[in-house]
Amino acid sequence: FTSLKAQNIFGFWKKLPGPEGGPVSAILVRNDTVYCAGSGGLYRSVDQGESWQNIGLNQLIYVYEMAQNKYFIFIPGRNGAYRFNPRTETVARIPFYGVYSFAAQDSVVLMGTDWGIYKSTDYGLTWKIIEDESRGHEINDILLLSSGVAVASACGASGSQTLRSTDWGDSWTILDPDPIKWCIIELLEIKGGIYAASDQPGDVYISGDGGLHWQLRHGINAPKRYTSAFHYDGIALYLGTDEAGVYKSKDFAKSWYINNDGIINRHVRVINSTAHYDFLGTTDGIYRKTKTESVWEPRNNGLANQTIQALEEVDGKLFAGTYGSGLQISEDWGMTWYHQTIQSGRNYVYDLKYIGSRIFAIASRNYLYPFGAVLFVSDDLGKSWEYKKFGSLLEKVDGNEKFIIVGSEFGLFRSTDHGNTWKKALNGVPENINVADLAVMDSVGLVVNGTSYVYRSANYGESWQLVRVPGLFSGEAVGAIGNKFYIGSGSVNDVFVSDDYGKSWRRIWVPLSNSSVTDFSGNGKYVFASLSGENGVIASSDSGKYWYRLELGLDNPHVYTILFTRSGHLFLGTNGSSVWRFASAELNSRLISPEENAIFHINKVIFTWHSVWGIDKYRIQIFKDLDLTKPVIDEIVNDTTFTFKSTVYNQRFYYRISTVCDYWANQFTEWHSFYITPPAQDILDQNFPNPFNYETNIRFHLSSESHVKFYLFDINGRRIKNIFNQTKAAGTHQFKFTAEGLPSGIYFLKMKTERTSLIKKIVLVR
């Protein structure tokens, strides 16, 4: 094991400002502030959704419906639950997993989990499980009324049930017979009644007696897609669906009409409202409209919540395949992004490859990966796309100018004419192989399918044979980097490498922390692997011999894909936190001037260096010696240049420069040096300031010790006064001249040494 510094990779991860949008599954309104979350963090808007700010919890994976009381916001997530204090913006983890829902009234908080209901009577500080009929059920949603009556929906493997409590959640009974046939996805209190939306298309149940009795209402023109969100904004009811957008009812679910104007992605996850606006959370981000209008408009400024499933470099541009927002393109390495349509509705992009002069993209209309995923090809750098009809359920693509292969859930496909025509690969590979990943190098192709089997072709995919990889349990990822193949196991801490085009393999040690590899990238010398779970990235700078973690600054370690570009940029695509870029803090190779051991005959030395992406401040230190006891200069600057002025000659100086940031401060360059000698001749600088009003500075440089005199002459050449008369050593000297009693005008300043005479024009302005 070798350290990060020893491997000569210095830096940290920095989140890019996009692509904006992304899956939003929870929206909460608190006074005039709107909060939203999905995967990858909690966001806040104080301007009615015009802009969003990330305020933490970037480790979240899929947030369910949030709840609140007087002091806290309760956030249930797939990988944990949290109590957030909006006043101090501090977070406390609630020590439970599998939390689906919260409901709160004053100090009482109810929590629905995958094993029943928990109750807190102290604002969520401590919890106890309810030991009754609710135990063992997956509690999908809870509604707690101010009267102490509560209704809960149970869904999942435990079966669909509706439970009711009349004592603030201390005890629960299952409604028998259960009048609600299907799983309830959301419960609302509206005008003294309880409304419950079933996941079944258009079904709304209504109770007027606190949830004891229910009536089914399936209104006219009700949606025919499964319900995913339910909301009442004080004027109308809204049903969100998983594919058909939003339906609106102004007569309490008796009739419905579509309200999809302006919505690009119609996979709705949550709906909520402020006093003036309705907000819609989709897999494409946030939409907003006024309550009296029907047109939704995207409002994603600052909301970088995308799930990135593929990254590719195309002609100096960065392409990102998103989960819900289609293809996103950046022409400035991730600082700004724009959407490029592949085909209408194809908003889920699972893989991207730039092969020859063509771009290959696998995209689907449906978020149920990879249902309906098919292949598209672009010959004009992504401006237009052609659908290649040969299969669906596609997952991965790779290739070169000789052959291209595409893997699906039900087989492997091959093209030998640059992707124009395709045939199923059958010679040696199972007809219905479920491809997990694939890679191509020269004439060799490798395919893994999540098992110990690895299939290899050495003749451009014409025929395949099973290859034994000793110790491989489940091959999930494969990469062709430099002249090596790499395979990442999906179940144990192993990476395997082949130096002979996949004929033989050896296991190598890597710090995987019980995770699997999701993707490989690199250029041969540098190899990078993204990991599953919350384990981030590992890296090697010696072709895979030694590995170490590359995690500084990465507060969302859920990484799906990684890309090391030909120009040396390193990017991550994350689950719910958009794109991250590695900011290299290594400055040794970025210094411009002064050159090592440079000699200066004047006292001004200008330092310059190339900027480091993601860094705004730099620290420079200058010493007279290397014992580092007293720096001559130790300053932080906001630029990539610094001017040093010394009054000392015949002196060697040593300097070093560091980036300044939270993650990588005081990581200095190596020591460099320069030498300042006296000038070869005497020099008189221009006075400063000039023109001057009353007082000015006069600076001069001597090549060796000399007696020095200064005289002042008027514009007619008459000597006005003697202003300086001293013996000075070699070096730089300075004094102030006060023009007391002199009128405005042009004067001449004469310096006379034992070797020369020099004159400067000075201007006095009263």
In the beta sheet, which residues pair with residue 609? 591
Predicted confidence (pLDDT) at residue 299 exceeds the cutoff of 60: yes
- Strands 444-448 and 437-441, how do they pair? antiparallel
Confidence of residue 7 (pLDDT cuts 50, 70, 90): very low
Mean pLDDT of 337-353: 94
Give yes or no: residues 638 and 706 share one domain. Answer: no
Q: What is the CA radius of gyration of the chain?
A: 35
Whether residues 669 and 691 fall in one domain: no
Same domain, 665 and 695: no
Does 95 reside within a domain?
no
Band of residue 368 on the pLDDT scale cut at 50, 70, 90:
low
Task: Tell me the pLDDT band of 290, cut-offs 50, 70 and 90.
Answer: very high
In a domain, 137, yes or no: no
Q: Which residue has the higher pLDDT, 737 or 587?
A: 737
- The CATH number that applies at residue 329 is 2.40.10
Give dist(CA 125, CA 83) in Å, integer. 9
Q: Which of these three, 385, 409, 440, is where a domain ends?
A: 385
Residue 174 burial by CB count (10 A; 0-12/13-18/19+): exposed, middle or buried?
middle
Quick one: 620 and 602 in the same domain?
yes
Residue 246 lies in a domain: no
List, as one string, the DSSP characters of 745-756. EEEEEEEE-SS-
| Digit-coded pLDDT (tens) for 327-336 | 999 999 999 9
User: Residues 616, 666: one domain?
Assistant: yes
Q: Residue 318 pLDDT more than 90?
A: yes
60-74, 172-186, 529-543: which range is least confident on average? 172-186
* CA 548 – CA 618 distance, rounded (Å): 27
Contacts of 460 (CB under 8 A, 6+ apart): 402, 403, 416, 443, 445
pLDDT at 663 over 70: no
- Per-residue pLDDT of 267-276, as tens digits, reads 999 999 999 9
Q: Is the pLDDT of residue 648 over 50?
A: yes
Q: Is residue 648 a part of any domain in this protein?
A: yes
Rounded Cα distance, 189 and 249, in Å: 16
Q: Are residues 666 and 727 in the same domain?
A: no
Candidate from 252-261, 292-301, 541-550 with smallest mean pLDDT: 541-550
Q: Is residue 196 part of a domain?
A: no
Per-residue 3-state assignment (H helix, E strand, C coil) for 394-422: EEEEEECCCCEEEEECCEEEEECCCCCCC
> Are 692 and 665 contained in the same domain?
no
Evaluate whether residue 580 is within a structural domain.
no
Dihedral sign for Cα 459, 460, 464, 470, please.
positive
Q: Is residue 355 part of a domain?
A: yes
Q: Which amino acid is at 150?
A: A
Query: In CATH, what number is assigned to the domain containing residue 618?
Result: 2.60.40.10
CATH number of the domain bearing residue 687: 2.60.40.2550
Both 671 and 712 in one domain: the answer is no
Q: Are residues 621 and 693 in the same domain?
A: no
pLDDT for residue 2: 29
pLDDT of residue 681: 87
Task: Give the closest residue to 230 by CA, choosing from 280, 267, 290, 186.
Answer: 186
- DSSP 8-state code for residue 671: P
Output the CA–CA distances (angstroms, integers) from residue 718 to 714, 715, 739, in the order listed: 6, 7, 16
645 and 698 both lie in a single domain: no
Q: Span 301-324, mean pLDDT?
A: 94
Q: Which of 440, 373, 439 is nearest to 408 (CA)?
A: 373
* Cβ–Cβ under 8 Å, residues 501 and 446: no
In a domain, 242, yes or no: no
Residues 314 and 335 in one domain: yes
Of 617, 647, 676, which one is at a domain's C-terminal end? 676
Name residues whose C-beta falls within 8 Å of residue 223's C-beta, 6 or more positions apart in sequence: 201, 202, 239, 241, 244, 247, 256
What's residue 279's pLDDT? 98
* pLDDT beyond 70 at 760: yes
pLDDT interval class at 113 (50, 70, 90): very high
Residue where a domain terminates, one of 640, 658, 676: 676
**626, exposed or middle or buried, with CB in 10 Å at 0-12, 13-18, 19+?**
exposed
Examine the domain organization and report whether 690 and 715 are in the same domain. yes
Q: Which two tokens stand for residue 668?
A: 């200095």
Average pLDDT of the residues in 417-429: 96
**pLDDT at residue 38, rounded to an integer:** 85
Question: What pLDDT, on a 0 to 100 scale, did the predictor assign at position 512?
Answer: 67
CA distances from 761 to 18, 53, 698, 749 (A): 57, 57, 12, 6
What pLDDT is attached to residue 335? 92
Are 67 and 29 in contact by the 8 Å Cβ rule? The answer is no
**DSSP track, 523-555:** -SSSEEEEESTT--EEEESSTTSS-EE--TT-S
Cβ 733 vs Cβ 718: under 8 Å: no
Q: What percent of the chain has pLDDT over 90?
A: 67
The type of residue at 7 is Q
At 577-608, the pLDDT tens digits run 899 998 765 656 567 888 888 888 777 899 99
Number of domains in the chain: 3
Using CA atoms, how far residue 268 sits from 283, 367, 496, 661, 732, in Å, is: 7, 11, 42, 39, 73
The total number of residues written for the chain in this structure: 766
Question: Average pLDDT over the chain, rounded to whole?
Answer: 90
Q: How confident is the model at residue 178 (pLDDT cuts 50, 70, 90)?
A: low
Q: What domain range is 613 assigned to?
A: 591-676
